Each structure stands twice: as structure tokens, then as C-alpha cells.
């Protein structure tokens, strides 16, 4: 069975249930009302008539109305709750016998009092109406609704037959039967007519028994529907409780997300402030670096002149710094040297990082600079990251692994260059170029 046909049958079951319920209330549709104006009238309110689903619902309603001999008033649908309530109010004003409603809001039941005041039965289909005594026809109880409607129709048919039989007996009595028996022409004819009368009596008793059995079936089906309704209500309440729990979890999660977003926002602002400070420090370092290059050029020229003078005087050049470690390095020296290496050569190769660390160690041993790591690093005008403050930031956070390894190697005497100075390779100063630096 296709989805559209199934929906159509469910809608038919809903209308059949309304018809059957009206029968129980004493508003028998069909034969009891002679003209079109007197036919049992049901107002049908849907949520829409545009989709295939609701077109199938309307089709099922129309078919069920034809099968049960009732009239259906189905105005244009409304997807707005207020407009739908107005539509229901108009149907109540037209004095329909019953209302079949698929409510937009299950909880707004203000129209029920007006319907009850006029004795108009209300049945919900597709969506429940949350109110006491309002039957609900949905997929879960479609079959039961169809069976109850069929049983009600059978009861009505048997009831009509019994009324006609009782009316016939009341109007004619047993005179015709007695005359027929007494008018027998022979004993065989007499016995045949007696048997015929007994057969009629047996038939009447059987019809009465059938009617009683049908009434019992209706009672059982009503009881079963009531039980199913109770179970559906319990399921609905359970679903509402679970919905509340889910909504609570969603609210809690949303609160946690908001808190985390605030933390991320605060961290982002802190990071932006930090990056802004670093940018200022690097800009200051650029200015210091330009001065450093000028000093390096002057120093290189003076050194070259001194070497030339010594050659002319026959003297030997000054010895390069000897190998070996600083002798008294500690964890503080390692941390400071690693931080300086990261500031000056964090983006260089390990060889370039080791060369920067070697310059600091060479100065400690040279006799021309302070004889401690901290003294060399903090000596005025020597290292631009120290002057800008960036060195202090890296020192506080700790240097990366590669720079720490290079600093430790240099402090242990594993230097890779004898230079005492370095600057950018683009400066034009002569010396040993490693990466982006020239060492001299």
C-alpha cells in the first residue's frame, strides 16, 4: 500500500469514528435523515490542502462521508493557529453535528467549551488535542477505529431491521399467522405452516441474539479503544518528559558553549594584545638592528685596519677564543641563552642556532666582555631582543627544544664558530655566513 493510500485510509477511519460516535450519542446518520439539509454534518479542519499528505487526508474524508451517508464541510485550510481557531468557531456557528480537527496547537483548546455548549462532538486526528474526553485517531489506533466504525454500522443496520420487525408485529399482531394456520387445507399443509411460523420465531430470536452479540462487541471495542487511548496518553506524557530532559540538556550545553566561547574570546583578545606587543618589539628591534649593522661595519673596518697594522709591524694576530665550556654554567644560564637563541635565530637551522649560542659563549671567554652568560646577554646595546623586551617574554614562557639543545651544546664547549659578533647577512659585512646571519 502506498503512503498516500495509507493516509487516505487513516483519514477515512477518523471520519468513520466520528460517524460511529455520533450514532452512540443519538445522532444517527444516513436513513434517519431524509433530505440533504437534514443529513448528519461533520466539519473537517485540516492543517493544509497543498501537500500530497493533506490531499490524501481530504480524499479519505470524502470517501468515508460518501460510504456513511453524511455531509462534510471542509473549509480552506489555515497554517496559522489564530485563523484555524476562527475557522473552527465559524463551523460551530453553523451548528454542525461533529468536528474532526487536526489542530495546529494541541494545547489551545478554547473552542471546546463553545462546541460542548451546542452538543457538538469533537474528534482529533493526525495531532492530539490535549484535553479530557477528546478521542484521537492516528496511525497507532487506525485499525481499532475502523473496526469500531464497522461494528457501529452493523449495530445500526441490525437495530433498523429489528425496529421494522417490531413495527410489523405491533401493527399486524399474529392474526395473519393464525388465519394462515387455520386456513390449512390438509394436515400436511397445517404442519408446514406451523413449521414456517416456528422458523420465523427462530429467526427473530437469532436476530436478537446477533444484535446482543454486536452490542457486546461494541462494548469490548470501546473498552479496548479507551485502554489504547490511556496508553497513548501515557506515551505522550513520557515523550513530553523526555523532551523536557532533552531541552534541559540543550540549555545546559548551550550555556557551556557560551562560557567556552567567552573564554575563547578572552584568550583571543589576550593573544591579539600579545601579538601587538611582539609587533612593537620587532619594530623596535628593526631600528636597533640598523644601528647594529652600522656599528658592525665600523668595527669590521677598524679590525681590518688593526690587522693590517700588525702585519706591517711584524706582530701576530690575537688568538681566537679557545674551545671548552664556560665552566660554571647552570640552569639559569641555559634558560637565558636558549631564550636569546630563539629570539635571534628561532627560524634558522640548528647550525645557525648553535652559531648564535657560540657567539655568547665566546664573549664570556674572550676577556673583552663580561665573564658570565647573564652579563653578556644584558650588556647594553648588544642584543636588540633584550632591549625591546621580547627576550623577557620568551624567557618567561621557555624556549623551544631546538634552541635549548643548541644552547646546551655551546655551554658544554661544542661551539661551531669562533666569532664574537653577528648581524644580518644582507648587511654586506664580511664574515662566515650561516643562514640569514653573518658571523665575524
108 and 233 co-located in one domain:
no
Query: What pLDDT shows up at residue 132?
Result: 82
Using CA atoms, how far apart are residues 349 and 346, in angstroms rounded to an integer?
8
pLDDT grade for 23, boundaries at 50, 70 and 90: very low
Q: Could you tell me if residue 340 is inside a domain?
A: yes
Cell of 66: 460518501
Decide if pLDDT at 301 tops 60: yes
In a domain, 108, yes or no: yes
Instruction: Provide mean pLDDT across the span 272-277.
Output: 77
Q: Which comes out higher in pLDDT, residue 175 or 433?
A: 433
Split into its structural domains, the chain has a count of: 3
For the entire predicted model, the pTM comes to 0.38
Q: How far apart are CA 248 and CA 260, in angstroms?
A: 18
**Which cell is 386 given?**
633584550
| Domain stops at, among 89, 122, 143 | 143
Domain containing residue 43 = 3-143
Segment 115-129, tens digit of pLDDT: 889 888 888 877 888
Question: What is the rounded distance in angstroms from the CA atom of residue 293 to the CA atom of residue 424?
Answer: 8
Write down the pLDDT at residue 176: 57
Query: Do residue 286 and residue 337 come from a single domain?
Result: no
pLDDT tens digits, one per residue of 162-207: 666 666 655 555 555 556 656 666 667 666 766 776 777 788 778 7
> Per-residue pLDDT tens for 24-75?
444 444 444 444 445 678 888 887 767 676 777 777 777 777 777 778 887 7
What does the alpha-carbon distance between residue 137 and residue 36 come to, in Å, rounded to a whole number? 27
Question: Strand 422-424's sheet: what is its strand order?
Answer: 422-424, 437-439, 432-434
Nearest 5°: CA angle at 35, between 95 and 97?
A: 25
How large is the average pLDDT for residues 320-340? 73
Q: Are 342 and 417 found together in one domain?
A: yes
Q: Do both 198 and 258 map to the same domain?
A: yes
Q: Could you tell me the three cell numbers for 205? A: 430470536
Helix intervals (H) in 314-372: 331-345, 350-366
Contact 123, 97 (CB under 8 A): no
User: Where do the H-state alpha helices sit in 33-110?
Assistant: 52-68, 81-93
Q: What angle do CA 102, 53, 141 make, to 5 degrees?
A: 55
pLDDT at 282: 74
What's the mean per-residue pLDDT of the chain?
A: 76
Residues 371 and 290 in one domain: no
Amino acid at each position: 500500500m502506498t503512503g498516500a493510500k495509507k493516509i487516505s485510509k487513516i483519514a477515512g477511519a477518523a471520519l468513520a469514528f466520528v460517524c460511529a460516535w455520533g450514532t452512540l450519542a443519538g445522532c444517527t446518520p444516513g436513513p434517519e435523515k431524509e433530505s440533504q439539509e437534514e443529513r448528519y454534518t461533520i466539519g473537517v479542519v485540516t492543517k493544509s490542502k497543498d501537500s500530497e499528505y493533506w490531499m490524501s487526508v481530504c480524499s479519505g474524508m470524502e470517501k468515508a462521508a460518501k460510504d456513511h451517508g453524511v455531509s462534510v464541510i471542509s473549509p480552506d485550510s489555515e497554517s496559522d493557529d489564530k485563523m484555524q481557531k476562527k475557522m473552527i468557531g465559524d463551523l460551530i456557528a453553523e451548528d454542525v453535528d461533529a468536528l474532526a480537527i487536526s489542530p495546529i496547537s494541541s494545547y489551545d483548546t478554547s473552542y471546546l467549551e463553545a462546541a460542548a455548549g451546542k452538543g457538538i462532538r469533537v474528534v482529533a486526528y493526525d495531532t492530539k488535542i490535549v484535553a479530557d474526553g477528546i478521542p484521537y485517531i492516528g496511525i497507532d489506533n487506525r485499525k481499532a477505529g475502523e473496526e469500531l466504525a464497522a461494528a457501529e454500522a452493523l449495530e445500526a443496520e441490525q437495530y433498523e431491521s429489528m425496529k421494522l420487525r417490531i413495527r410489523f408485529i405491533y401493527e399486524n399482531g399474529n392474526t395473519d399467522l393464525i388465519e394462515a394456520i387455520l386456513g390449512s387445507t390438509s394436515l400436511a399443509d397445517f404442519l408446514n405452516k406451523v413449521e414456517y411460523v416456528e422458523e420465523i420465531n427462530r429467526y427473530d430470536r437469532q436476530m436478537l441474539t446477533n444484535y446482543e452479540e454486536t452490542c457486546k462487541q461494541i462494548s469490548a471495542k470501546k473498552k479496548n479503544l479507551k485502554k489504547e487511548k490511556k496508553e497513548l496518553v501515557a506515551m505522550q506524557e513520557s515523550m513530553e518528559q523526555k523532551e523536557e530532559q532533552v531541552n534541559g540538556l540543550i540549555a545546559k550545553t548551550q550555556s557551556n558553549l557560551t562560557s567556552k566561547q567567552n573564554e575563547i574570546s578572552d584568550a583571543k583578545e589576550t593573544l591579539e594584545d600579545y601579538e601587538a606587543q611582539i609587533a612593537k618589539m620587532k619594530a623596535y628591534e628593526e631600528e636597533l638592528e640598523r644601528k647594529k649593522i652600522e656599528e658592525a661595519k665600523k668595527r669590521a673596518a677598524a679590525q681590518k685596519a688593526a690587522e693590517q697594522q700588525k702585519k706591517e709591524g711584524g706582530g701576530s694576530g690575537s688568538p681566537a677564543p679557545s674551545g671548552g665550556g664556560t665552566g660554571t654554567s647552570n640552569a639559569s644560564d641555559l634558560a637565558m641563552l636558549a631564550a636569546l637563541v630563539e629570539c635571534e635565530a628561532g627560524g634558522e637551522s640548528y647550525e645557525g642556532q648553535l652559531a648564535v649560542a657560540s657567539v655568547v659563549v665566546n664573549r664570556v671567554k674572550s676577556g673583552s666582555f663580561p665573564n658570565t652568560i647573564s652579563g653578556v646577554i644584558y650588556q647594553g646595546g648588544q642584543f636588540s631582543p633584550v632591549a625591546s623586551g621580547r627576550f623577557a617574554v620568551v624567557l618567561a614562557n621557555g624556549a623551544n627544544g631546538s634552541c635549548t639543545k643548541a644552547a646546551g651544546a655551546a655551554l658544554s664547549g661544542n661551539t661551531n664558530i669562533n666569532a664574537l659578533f653577528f648581524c644580518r647577512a644582507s648587511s654586506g659585512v664580511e664574515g662566515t655566513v650561516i643562514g640569514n646571519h653573518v658571523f665575524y
